[in-house]
Structure 1
Amino acid sequence: MSQNVYVAGVGMIPFTKPGASEAYYQMGAKAAVAALDDAGVGYDQIDHAYAGFMYADSCAGQRALYEVGMTGIPVFNVNNNCATGSTAIYLARQAIEAGAAECILMVGFDQMVPGALEVQFKDRPSVFDRFYAAIDEKLGASEVPGALRIFGSAGLAHMERFGTRLETFAKIRAKASRHAANNPLAVFRNVVSTEEVMASPMVWPGVMTRLMACPPTCGAAAAVLCSEDFASRHGLKRDVRIAAQAMTTDRANAFDGVDMREVAGFSMSRTAAQKVYEQAGVGPQDIDVVELHDCFAQNELLTYEALGLCPEGGAEKFVDDGDNTYGGQVVTNPSGGLLSKGHPLGATGLAQCHELVSQLRCKAAKRQVEGARLALQHNIGIGGACVVTLYERT
């Protein structure tokens, strides 16, 4: 990092089920105001804004932020599938480092609908066509919904290669529910057992139950980044900085059909994490808390290995030993993750930021990871993009 970039403020509203939320622009505005208030800056001090969403029309960012202020600043609308929120953080951090801005607001929101994710423009080729073709060639055609098929295929590959049991994914889902029980912003706060996860309806026999998939969710989150000079001049918090960050996209092996983990972005995640560790001069053993992209329990398990939290093939032991929760090696998804906190696609990366900044400020209440100093964020979008960010308590 060429200069220090600080997270001056974060904001988030409670996530809800589809049909129970306010309109997208109202949610976005509330999260943005919360982040500004937390930072202690006014909207008139913001140089640029980045707005992330998937389920809204172009310029939805302006629609949300005009509720906060109309100062004529550039507003950039961002869409990178599920990695949208983190992509906004990545762009804002770059702009500050380049000297193009000193203080930037990022907001992410989505007002989703019930049911499995669907392609929105059905009259043209899907961005997922090559991913689906690789899966079909390996496993045969299926009526299983697209996102479930991508991550289920990756989980199946891990099961076949390393003997991973379906119960292991159920343990991950149960862990998420225990963490979310202490998060007042999570959409699902009910605790479920491993047995209950296993007993939920099979959406892919032998591969995935319904409770292993994250729910469609409505919500919004936001953050304010600023330069060290700006924070110093205005007396802003400098307790959390971005220590390293990397963004990656797919390589050709995502489509070669050899390893179904690749269609779910395994190498994207591994490469981004390695770059971050190298930038910061740390290793996975130094990380205290992680918010990772658990859109499916299968992807959480794969990501343990991609981030180097355990050896490749060692994720089942990592789970069985309790190394993914309090009292173990590293607390993963103390917020409850996408599985229980919820997954409004455009907001997810910024919600992860909200949780990790709260942890590093020691303001996570019952979820607090004792002594947290280094916090890792992993956010992935199929299509594809992966952003890994390391936050440090200063």
Structure 2
Amino acid sequence: MSRKVYVVGVGMTKFEKPGGRDWDYPQMAKEAGSQALEDAGVGYENIEQVFAGYVYGDSTCGQTAAYELGLSGVPIYNVNNNCSTGSTALFMAKQLIEGGIIDCALALGFEKMERGSLSNKYEDRQNPLGRFYTTMSEQRGMTKAPPAVQIFGNAGIEHMEKYGTKAEHFGMVSLKNHMHSTRNPRSQFQDEYTLEQIMGSRPIHGPLTMLQCCPTSDGAAAAVLASEEFVKEHGLEDQAVEILAMSMTTDTPSTFGDSAMKLVGTDMTRRAAQQVFAAAGLTPDDVDVIELHDCFSTNELITYEGLGLCGEGKGGELIESGNVTYGGKWVVNPSGGLISKGHPLGATGLAQCAELNWQLRGLADKRQVDGAEIALQHNLGLGGAAVVTLYRR
């Protein structure tokens, strides 16, 4: 019989532009990890296993990072699953506690990035996204824009063609998230823009302009997970947030067909969301606050549909309705999302986890969602993997 799993402590650095602060990934990890341990009220000696996530780095960066918190000889796993790395580390820790293997684990995510668009680091072997780029080229050709922007921009173009969505709808997503980030002191960007400024910023690909694309970032985030027995033994009931359900999905043949939206993981997202709602016995109507993977504004709008917040093709209507911000049915990306908070790849999923835990514990300060009881997290990585999680205070 599986056991209940709780998040009992979270931590996160401020996300910074690459090179904007004089630090390296071990210092980032120490800052976020120390916060999570202090929040949980436990020492590193209580941690039985560590799951360290990062995308850019050599083979044992996880050990180097975790050693900043202590040298206790426990297993440390180095995790890389592209942009869903942080949630993958969380997923692995949750499974071992749920299965009764351990009682307390640390999920730690960090990234030290280079400025500019992401690029392939190894030219002497197959690019892991090569199949995606080939499919994209077959669908709509290639331009000089960065490949990731083309993939997600093409998804937006398809949504516009199929459902009559307007470019301004994607701009409204960015408008909302930049506005939310003005309330978040840990956000990389904290500037508010008008829709005209967003739509008038430098065109990148399709409907996407510069202010609708997430930046590269440096930063770290962490979470301490524990079993119900550990929670009771250490008196952590008042701060424990239960992971009600969690699912990870990967690509199926439908990803590589003739749909640009499916190429960016809509089927993965839909399947994972259906699995967690079924496991928890809940529906999207039960959710109060959401952190989802808005690497580009087009992806947030498409993800509304994949998560079941609205019907297929109705994402534009949903953002226009005001039901995904304060005063609406849900608050989506109160942190500012990837677009404004930043996107240090290995840390993103755990930063989402931290934000939702603060929301459910009533600790989100100026961005607090009133009465938040159920939270939903969506983290996506091309290559690919989608991780969807439901939390309850």
Q: TM-score, normalised by structure 2?
A: 0.98
Q: Percent of pairs identical after alignment?
A: 51
User: Residue type of the partner of 1:63?
Assistant: T
Deviations 1:178-218 (A, max 9, x none): 100000000000001111000101112x4211111000000
Partner of 2:108: 107
**What is the rounded CA distance, in whole Å, between the counterparts of 1:376 and 1:157 in structure 2?**
26
- Once the two structures are TM-superposed, the CA of residue 142 in structure 1 deviates from its matched residue by 2.1
Is structure 2 residue 274 aligned with structure 1 residue 269? no
**What is the rounded CA distance, in whole Å, between the counterparts of 1:225 and 1:347 in structure 2?**
16
**What is the rounded CA distance, in whole Å, between the counterparts of 1:328 and 1:338 in structure 2?**
21
Partner of 1:61: 62
User: Residue type of the partner of 2:133?
Assistant: Y
2:2–2:100 contact (8 Å) kept in structure 1:
no
| Count of aligned residue pairs for this structure pair | 391
SS of 2:123 mapped into structure 1: coil
SS of 1:152 mapped into structure 2: helix
**What is the rounded CA distance, in whole Å, between the counterparts of 1:254 and 1:143 in structure 2?**
23
- Once the two structures are TM-superposed, the CA of residue 50 in structure 1 deviates from its matched residue by 0.4
Alignment of 1:175-324 (within 5 A): 175-204=176-205, 206-237=206-237, 238-256=239-257, 258-324=258-324
Q: Which moved more, 1:346-355 or 1:115-124?
A: 115-124
User: Residue type of the partner of 2:142?
Assistant: A
**What is the rounded CA distance, in whole Å, between the counterparts of 2:118 and 2:234 in structure 1?**
43
Q: Which moved more, 1:356-365 or 1:238-247?
A: 238-247
Moved over 6 A (4+): none
- Once the two structures are TM-superposed, the CA of residue 30 in structure 1 deviates from its matched residue by 1.1
- Once the two structures are TM-superposed, the CA of residue 239 in structure 1 deviates from its matched residue by 3.2
Alignment of 1:1-394 (within 5 A): 2-21=2-21, 22-204=23-205, 206-237=206-237, 238-256=239-257, 258-393=258-393
1:185–1:341 contact (8 Å) kept in structure 2:
yes
Q: TM-score, normalised by structure 1?
A: 0.98
User: Residue type of the partner of 1:232?
Assistant: K
Deviations 1:100-120 (A, max 9, x none): 110001110001111111111
**What is the rounded CA distance, in whole Å, between the counterparts of 1:341 and 1:270 in structure 2?**
25
1:136–1:142 contact (8 Å) kept in structure 2:
no
- Once the two structures are TM-superposed, the CA of residue 149 in structure 1 deviates from its matched residue by 1.2
User: Residue type of the partner of 1:77?
Assistant: N
Gaps of 5+ in 2: none
SS of 1:347 mapped into structure 2: helix
SS of 1:7 mapped into structure 2: strand
2:335–2:341 contact (8 Å) kept in structure 1:
yes
**What is the rounded CA distance, in whole Å, between the counterparts of 1:23 and 1:138 in structure 2?**
40
Please provide the CA RMSD for this pair. Answer: 0.9
1:373–1:392 contact (8 Å) kept in structure 2:
yes
SS of 2:223 mapped into structure 1: strand
2:292–2:337 contact (8 Å) kept in structure 1:
yes
1:293–1:378 contact (8 Å) kept in structure 2:
yes
User: Residue type of the partner of 1:344?
Assistant: P
SS of 1:117 mapped into structure 2: coil
SS of 1:346 mapped into structure 2: helix
Deviations 1:266-293 (A, max 9, x none): 0000000000000000001111000000
User: Residue type of the partner of 1:115?
Assistant: G
**What is the rounded CA distance, in whole Å, between the counterparts of 1:140 and 1:303 in structure 2?**
24
User: Residue type of the partner of 1:225?
Assistant: L
- Once the two structures are TM-superposed, the CA of residue 298 in structure 1 deviates from its matched residue by 0.4
- Once the two structures are TM-superposed, the CA of residue 150 in structure 1 deviates from its matched residue by 1.2
- Once the two structures are TM-superposed, the CA of residue 2 in structure 1 deviates from its matched residue by 2.1
SS of 1:217 mapped into structure 2: coil
